[in-house]
Amino acid sequence: MNAGRFAGQLALVTGGASGIGAEVMRQLEAGGAEAIAADIKIPSNRIRQVDVRDRASVTALIAGLPRAPDILITCAGGALRRKALEVDEEMLNESLQLNLGGFWRCTQEAAKRAISENKPMAVVHVASSLHRGPAPELSHFSAAKGASVSMMRCLAQELAPHRIRVNAVIPGPIETPATTPIWDNRPGYRDTLRAAVPLARIGTPTDVVPAILWLASQEAGWVTGSLLTVDGGLDVAP
Ligand SMILES: NC(=O)c1ccc[n+]([C@@H]2O[C@H](COP(=O)([O-])OP(=O)(O)OC[C@H]3O[C@@H](n4cnc5c(N)ncnc54)[C@H](O)[C@@H]3O)[C@@H](O)[C@H]2O)c1
């Protein structure tokens, strides 16, 4: 990592308290960024509280930044598992508000501020390899992530004239505090995953974060509306 790669840049990372977002924070700081983590959980006083499902909360977060962020990484997301026929209105709405709405709201508010300050910005959304489905017990999550990818492409188109780039990374299965307890509770599940992934292992946050940071960096200055898949080859599994 080039120590000065993000020097002088302000970065906001939603979901920055845990998992992929926490690793994004570490690597942004290693690259010299002034990185601010925002999360619904605040395990340390370095993290700002936000609920990305709530407009007022997101508006206050963006207004409280010292200036428009140069970089926005939207990692906040997740879902409980439930069989498709048992998902109710509330659960579908919750998943849409978090996994689609969180990205949409944060990008809208940050983009409005960047435009008002006449600054460029790079947004990287963390979607999921489940965005196209099928995803057993995660239909609500898969649909919300799928919609977030469509939203990313629309925002990329409309925001390009403002020098705002919007891209997404598509991680495959990554060992994080969100997945570890679930996989621990399913004997043999990790072996099933490893067998399904052509590169024959489960990913770690350090596998996916360099792709996120490349999209956020000046090196990707001519890239917008793109999906970058980091899944050990799952998408091309035989
Ligand atoms: N781990 C995987 O296998 C995997 C695979 C594909 C995509 N993803 C996506 O990557 C992102 C990060 O996942 P992770 O595995 O690091 O999970 P994680 O649970 O470790 O981190 C997610 C963070 O988001 C925060 N969050 C949840 N709801 C929030 C809200 N309403 N407002 C603000 N913050 C909120 C959580 O508190 C948590 O700190 C998620 O969007 C997830 O869907 C993960």
Ligand 1 atom having least distance to the Cα of 171:
6
Neighbours of 238 (CB within 10 A): 4
Residue 169's SS3 state is strand
174 lines ligand 1 (CB under 6 A): yes
Give the 3-state secondary structure of residue 5: coil
User: What is the reported pLDDT for 3?
Assistant: 81
Atom of ligand 1 nearest to the CA of 52: 32
Pairing mode, strands 34-39 and 10-14: parallel
Question: For residue 34, which amino acid is it?
Answer: E
Residue with CA closest to ligand 1 atom 19: 178
The mean per-residue pLDDT over the stretch 202-210 comes to 98
Beta-carbon contacts of residue 52 (< 8 Å; ≥ 6 apart) = 14, 15, 40, 58, 74, 76, 98, 101, 102, 103, 105, 106
Is 20's C-beta closer than 6 angstroms to any atom of ligand 1?
yes
Quick: pLDDT tens for 133-148. 899 999 999 999 999 9
Cα(214)–Cα(59) distance, integer angstroms: 27
pLDDT at 1 over 80: no
| Among 128, 145, 170, residue to substitute to test ligand 1 (most atoms within 8 Å of Cβ) | 128
Mean confidence (pLDDT) of the chain: 97
- How far is 237 from 173, CA to CA, in rounded Å? 14
Q: Which domains does the chain have, with CATH numbers?
A: 10-172+204-230 (3.40.50.720)
At residue 100, the pLDDT reads 98
- Quick one: what percent of the chain has pLDDT higher than 70? 100
Return d(Cα 18, Cα 236) in angstroms, integer.
29
CA distance 63 to 237: 44
Is residue 123 in contact with ligand 1, taking CB distance under 6 Å? no
Q: Which residue has 């962020």 as its token pair?
A: 69
pLDDT digits (tens, 9 = 90+) for 110-139: 999 999 999 999 999 999 999 998 999 999
Residue 21 pLDDT > 70: yes
pLDDT digits (tens, 9 = 90+) for 58-89: 999 999 999 999 999 999 999 999 999 999 99
Give distance in angstroms: CA of 98 to centre of ligand 1: 10
